[in-house]
Amino acid sequence: MDPAPGFDPFMPHDLQHFIVEKMLRIEGGIFGRLAAGGTAKTFHAVTNSPSAREAARLRRKQAAKDAKLPSQDDYARSERATYICWHDWLSHSHDPAKRAQAKLMRETASSVSARMEPKERASFSAERLAEIRQEFERLSGRWSCLAVGESFTELW
> For the chain, what are the domain ranges?
13-25+74-144, 31-67
> 118 pLDDT exceeds 50?
yes
Q: How far is CA 84 from the centre of its chain?
A: 12
Mean pLDDT of the region 110-119: 96
pTM: 0.83
Give the pLDDT band (50/70/90) at residue 50.
confident
> 2 pLDDT exceeds 60?
no
> 44 pLDDT exceeds 60?
yes
- Predicted pLDDT of residue 137: 95
CA–CA separation, 37 and 133 (whole Å): 28
CA distances in angstroms from 97 to 65, 92, 93, 151, 154, listed in the order given:
44, 11, 9, 26, 28
Residue scoring higher pLDDT (19 or 36): 19
What is the percent of the chain where pLDDT is above 90? 58
